[in-house]
């Protein structure tokens, strides 16, 4: 176990910080020390209090108890502007860019360069381009943010935080929507910050990267810091045990029911085509089967899923249980018993201002499949309560607005909402992003359970160990086409990567 770090080089210290929101005690007692020139990672389950702690450090929330010290002197932060003046920058977990503005307008939203009273557009574009180039981010400054992918938006968000000189850079799950390529850009940025002597506070649920980039790791549980460890003194298994408070022998639940591929298939897709998006897509998923979709970013996976969900008009045929469907809108897809867990919960999944209960019962309302629920608040409540217990969603009550939940718990609500509908086909697009290891296991177990009950499942994921462990078959997309159909039994990661990149098989 790591002792007290050497006092030299400590820039920031938190001592017994506490914070409540009404009756919810988000932080009980958090202490840790941050040293210059290091990456300090906060690790903990969904709802452990990581984002709350970071928001206190960034001046967004005021703590109810405890102390903050900057360079050994008591620090009181009166708002985010105050934190910025002290050289503390933050990249929030939820993106905050204005989608209707350009990249550069977002980068300089708080402090555009001026000439006289006017904004100096030319200077702003030049400075914006220089910043992006320095960070190794290849995005045009004039591009409207609405046209960027989630990953690109995340990179712009990071650039925005770094657009001012800062000694302490806080990043709350910056990689949750990044692919490997963009994550590499981020890790280069972090390495540079550290080399310049700045301190980085980092949050992520991806243990491999935590083990790769951290110098020190503080584990949080239920609003308290449990311990701080030097990276060299620990390993992923120990960290998991500290985080969830028990040992986890298996990360993936095994298949318990033998798969029988009946005919006709639950879902059959024939010759699906959409110019510029995907070409000649043919595949089938059987009742009870879990089919993985793997591909590099831009391979076309999400577009195919959007087409299934009725978002595009395209050529080809979609059949369920042998019957051809006409899918003109998401409502059509839902009415046919399809459910979709998407990666962008803000735009496609949740109504943040509404209660947990309302969000979970929402699909029933739209699908019209369970009209009875609408007139039966007790049933609606029972349904919501059941999902909350099953997925271990941390909430103060079913009435709580979803917007108040921690990021990972919001993702669990998205899940609960679709599961409540008992779908015939469940499409999961990156379902475990931002979800802690313990809750991941619960979600995997639920997927298995649904499959055992006859749901056909499509699992789209960039997490290769995850798709390999969970799927019966794996379909690989490359360059907008389905290039391989692989049985997952005995399949190796290297082989899948070779199919996805078009490299020669190892
Ligand atoms: N504004 C708020 N109002 C009420 N409760 C809140 C608010 N913000 C956070 N909480 C509660 O505080 C607790 C800690 O949330 P926090 O967002 O800090 O968790 P986290 O560790 O960042 O989780 P995750 O890994 O899911 O992002 C949760 O129970 C959450 O519901
Ligand atoms: Mg969080």
176 lines ligand 1 (CB under 6 A): no
Q: Could you write out the DSSP letters of every residue in 267-331? A: EEEEEEEETTTEEEEEEEE-TT-EEEEE--TTSSHHHHHHHHTT-S--EEEEEETTEE----SHH
Residues in the chain: 506
Our answer on whether the CB atom of 26 is closer than 6 Å to any ligand 1 atom is yes
> Tens digits of per-residue pLDDT, 262-299?
889 999 999 999 988 999 999 999 999 999 999 887 78
- According to the model, what pLDDT value does residue 310 have? 87
Closest ligand 1 atom to Cα of 220:
21
d(CA 58, CA 80): 6
Residue whose entry in the numeric block shows the structure tokens 């180039």: 133
Assign 51 a pLDDT band (cuts: 50, 70, 90): very high
Q: Are 337 and 287 in contact (CB under 8 A)?
A: no
Cβ 24 under 6 angstroms from ligand 1: yes
pLDDT tens profile 431-444: 888 888 888 888 89
Count of CB atoms situated within 10 Å of the CB of 399: 10
Confidence of residue 128 (pLDDT cuts 50, 70, 90): very high
**pTM for the structure as a whole:** 0.83
Percent of the chain with pLDDT over 70: 94
pLDDT over 50 (residue 371): no
Q: Is the pLDDT of residue 2 over 50?
A: no
Report whether residue 17 contacts ligand 1, using a CB cutoff of 6 Å: no
How far from 76 is each of 82, 101, 201, 245, CA to CA, in Å?
9, 33, 19, 33
Q: What is the pLDDT of residue 27?
A: 97
Distance 278 CA to ligand 2 centre (A): 35
- Token representation of residue 428: 């999961």
Ligand 1 atom with least separation from CA of 53:
18
Beta bridge partners of residue 475, listed in sequence order:
293, 485
Least confidently predicted of 147-156, 173-182, 311-320 = 173-182
Is residue 48 in contact with ligand 1, taking CB distance under 6 Å? yes
Does the pLDDT at position 478 exceed 70?
yes
Query: What pLDDT shows up at residue 211?
Result: 94
Q: What is the pLDDT of residues 416-464, one digit of tens each?
A: 888 777 899 999 988 888 888 888 888 898 899 889 989 999 999 888 8
């Amino acid at each position: 176990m790591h002792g007290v770090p050497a006092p030299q080089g400590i820039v920031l210290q938190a001592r017994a910080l506490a914070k409540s929101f009404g009756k919810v005690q988000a932080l009980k007692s958090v202490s840790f020390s941050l040293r210059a020139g290091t990456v300090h990672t906060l690790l903990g389950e969904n709802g452990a209090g990581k984002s709350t702690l970071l928001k206190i450090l960034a001046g967004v929330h005021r703590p109810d108890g405890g102390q903050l010290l900057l360079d050994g002197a008591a620090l009181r932060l009166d708002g985010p502007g105050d934190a910025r003046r002290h050289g503390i920058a933050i990249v929030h977990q939820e993106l905050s860019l204005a989608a209707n503005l350009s990249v550069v307008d977002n980068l300089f939203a708080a402090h555009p360069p001026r000439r006289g009273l006017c904004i100096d557009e030319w200077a702003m574009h030049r400075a914006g381009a220089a910043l992006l180039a320095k960070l190794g981010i290849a995005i045009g400054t004039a591009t409207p943010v609405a046209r960027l992918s989630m990953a690109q938006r995340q990179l712009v968000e990071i650039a925005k935080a770094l657009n001012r000189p800062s000694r302490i850079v806080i990043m709350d799950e910056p990689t949750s929507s990044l692919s490997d390529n963009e994550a590499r850009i981020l890790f280069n940025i972090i390495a540079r910050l550290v080399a310049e002597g700045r301190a980085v506070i980092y949050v992520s649920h991806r243990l491999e990267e935590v083990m790769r980039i951290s110098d020190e790791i503080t584990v949080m549980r239920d609003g308290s810091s449990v311990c701080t460890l030097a990276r060299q003194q620990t390993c992923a298994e120990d960290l998991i045990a500290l985080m969830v408070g028990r040992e986890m022998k298996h990360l993936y639940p095994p298949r318990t029911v033998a798969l029988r591929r009946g005919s006709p298939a639950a879902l059959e897709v024939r010759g699906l085509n959409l110019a510029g998006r995907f070409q000649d897509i043919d595949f089938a998923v059987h009742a009870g089967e879990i089919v993985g979709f793997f591909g590099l970013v831009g391979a076309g996976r999400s577009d195919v899923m959007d087409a299934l969900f009725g978002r595009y008009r395209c050529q080809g045929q979609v059949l369920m249980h042998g019957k051809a469907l006409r899918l003109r809108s998401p409502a059509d897809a839902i009415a046919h018993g399809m459910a979709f867990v998407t990666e962008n919960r803000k735009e496609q999944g949740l109504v943040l201002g509404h209660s947990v209960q309302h969000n979970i019962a929402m699909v029933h309302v739209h699908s019209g499949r369970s009209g009875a629920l609408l007139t039966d608040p007790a049933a609606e409540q029972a349904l919501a309560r059941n999902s909350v217990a099953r997925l271990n969603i941390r909430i103060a009550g079913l009435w709580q607005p979803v917007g108040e939940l921690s990021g990972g718990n919001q993702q669990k609500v998205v899940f609960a909402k679709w599961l409540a509908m008992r779908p015939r086909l469940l499409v999961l697009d990156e379902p475990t992003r931002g979800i802690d290891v313990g809750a991941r296991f619960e979600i995997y177990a639920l997927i298995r359970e649904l499959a055992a009950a006859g749901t056909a499942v499509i699992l789209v994921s960039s997490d290769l160990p995850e798709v390999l462990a969970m799927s019966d078959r794996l379909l690989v997309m490359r360059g907008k086409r389905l290039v391989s159909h692989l049985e997952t039994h005995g399949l190796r990661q290297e082989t899948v990567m070779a199919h996805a990149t078009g490299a020669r098989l190892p």
